Chain A
Amino acid sequence: MKKYYWVVIAIVAGFLSNPVLTKAQDASKEASVKVSGEVATSLELKLADLQQFQQADVTRKDRDGKDHVYSGVVLADILQKAGATMGKDLRGENLTKYILVEASDGYQVIFALAELDKGFTDRTIILASRVDGKPLPDGDGPFRIIVQDEKKPARCIKQVTGIKVLFAK
């Protein structure tokens, strides 16, 4: 009896870890966010990669007028990881840098680097992947910027695909 038990576990584990089978379940490619531009190393972050950062929550209202808890990673941490000029390096001409965030529908918004840096503001801006403990719904996710306390939701850009660090020309 015990022997069979282990055989079953081995087979199930084999199925689960088989990349061909798991791929077949989801023939589509996995969405990601590319971090590029004025950075030391470009990044391409998938959902699992966000887990390697410290997690943060931001509460804000959605279209339904109710408060929701969004969870994800502080944008500044991601930019730091990519080697953008944050923290002590955010001075002089680097203060003319901004990020251009682009969504899969082509929508774009910008944030000045100084708007994102803890040395300048306590307002938290995150790249969220969950809302109220669940993945973001279709059409909003898998990645969405959530700006704490901003009155209009227009910069809480949905379906983020890219973050480019740029100099204002």
Chain B
Amino acid sequence: MNPDFSKIKRKSAVVLLLSMVIFTLSGWAFIKSDMETGPYKFIYPANFGNRINVPDDNPSTKEGVYLGRMLFYEKSLSANNTISCANCHQQARAFTDGRSFSTGVDNVPTSRNSMSLTNLLWTRKFFWDGRAGSLEEQAAFPLTNPHEMGQSLDVSANKLAESSVYHQLFKIVYGDEAITGDRIVKAITQFERTLISCNSHYDQYLRNTYQPTPQELKGLALFMNAPQPQTGIRGANCAHCHGGVKNYMELFHNNGLDSIPKDAGIETLTGLSSDRGRFKAPTLRNIALTAPYMHDGRFKTLAEVVDHYSDHVEESASLSSFIRGVSNETGGRSLNLRPDEKKELIAFLNMLTDSTFITDPRFSDPHLLPVQKFKQSSK
């Protein structure tokens, strides 16, 4: 054999080996570069306050948030591989689904309306009745509920374990490759905590970067003020339960939908008749995007909602004392707003839409983008 030739051969073997090393490393580096690692810094306006809710045993990391986002959109976490969290929580609808009741793997409607997922970093009580005390506790529910995703956490962990992608991701996030129900839940909640909405026209108005129209300003005043028929101050008193810069106060009330409610709400948990028909006063952020409204999705439009508070409040012993007898007319039973005032109020509610939130690429389905690339490079 020609010695020169063997030299070339040896050289090319080295090159081949090196390029293989580089290739495998680059696959690895791709995950790393695609997904920055390290503590996740929540960025939000100072007026939102720092009463945030992150458990000590689940601090947010960039890699954890990325894994959580993958899992939020992961259909194999459902019994028939067709449903992910995102089915009922769609970004374009501020993470609701446009239906009165949602359907999961068994096509049986859920008992309540899907809820918007926004600014959960500050939330302490989850669900319409506030029954879950943390996002971690909350997430296990839809994953395993037979009417939602319907699969035990152990089965979910085993299914994910079949994918090499998840092995690597769990290793990066948790230090070893073990895939467990607890780790699945923790990563999902890390992603949920990043769903911060803080750029509506209302936020911009508070930052002095948006000048509301005269109609919006009148709506804002109605929203904030309690009516005082004696002094002629007109109001809708909404801020009493839906106020604050985040448009959410974590209060639970009976807002007069029914005198005998079909769904007893918090009474089912506490056994107290004063909790009958009592539900979370949900966030009004992005409210124009999250129809239909109320725990049972009974109202299709904001006009119907405003008509309810203005003209159709139903009396009962558990009706909130912040609604009972609050009226723009002396002795009135509900607000009695004029048609122009209703329009103003709705104009204000439309100021709460944050279009950057619903188009933010950080919250979109990651399976449609880099992961496909990542999957190819790892194979």
Contacts and interface: CB of A to CB of B under 8 A. Distances in A.
Contacts of B252: 104-106
A104 B125 contact: no
Contact of B272 (A31, A106, A158): A31
Nearest to B230: A65
B71 interface: no
B320 A106 contact: no
Nearest to A108: B250
B267 to A, nearest CB: 8
A68 B270 CA distance: 31
A104 B267 CA distance: 11
A104 B269 CA distance: 12
The SS class assigned to the A binding surface is loop
A106 B274 contact: no
The SS class assigned to the B binding surface is loop
B292 interface: no
A139 B256 CA distance: 13
A29 B272 contact: yes
B251 A104 contact: no
A29 to B, nearest CB: 4
A148 B323 CA distance: 25
Nearest to A137: B321
B22 interface: no
Interface in B244-298: 250-253, 267, 270-275, 278
B251 A159 contact: no
B231 to A, nearest CB: 11
Interface residues of A, number: 13
Contact of B321 (A28, A31, A106, A140): A140
A139 B272 contact: no
B271 A158 contact: no
A51 to B, nearest CB: 21
B320 A139 contact: yes
A104 B252 CA distance: 8
A96 B130 CA distance: 30
B250 A106 contact: yes
A158 B251 contact: no
A16 to B, nearest CB: 22
Nearest to B267: A28
Interface of B: 125, 130, 250-253, 267, 270-275, 278, 317-321, 324
Interface of A: 28-29, 31, 104-107, 137-140, 158-159
24 contacts: A28-B267, A28-B271, A31-B272, A31-B274, A104-B252, A104-B270, A104-B272, A104-B274, A104-B278, A105-B253, A105-B278, A105-B320, A106-B125, A106-B252, A107-B251, A137-B321, A138-B274, A138-B318, A138-B321, A139-B318, A139-B319, A139-B320, A158-B321, A159-B274
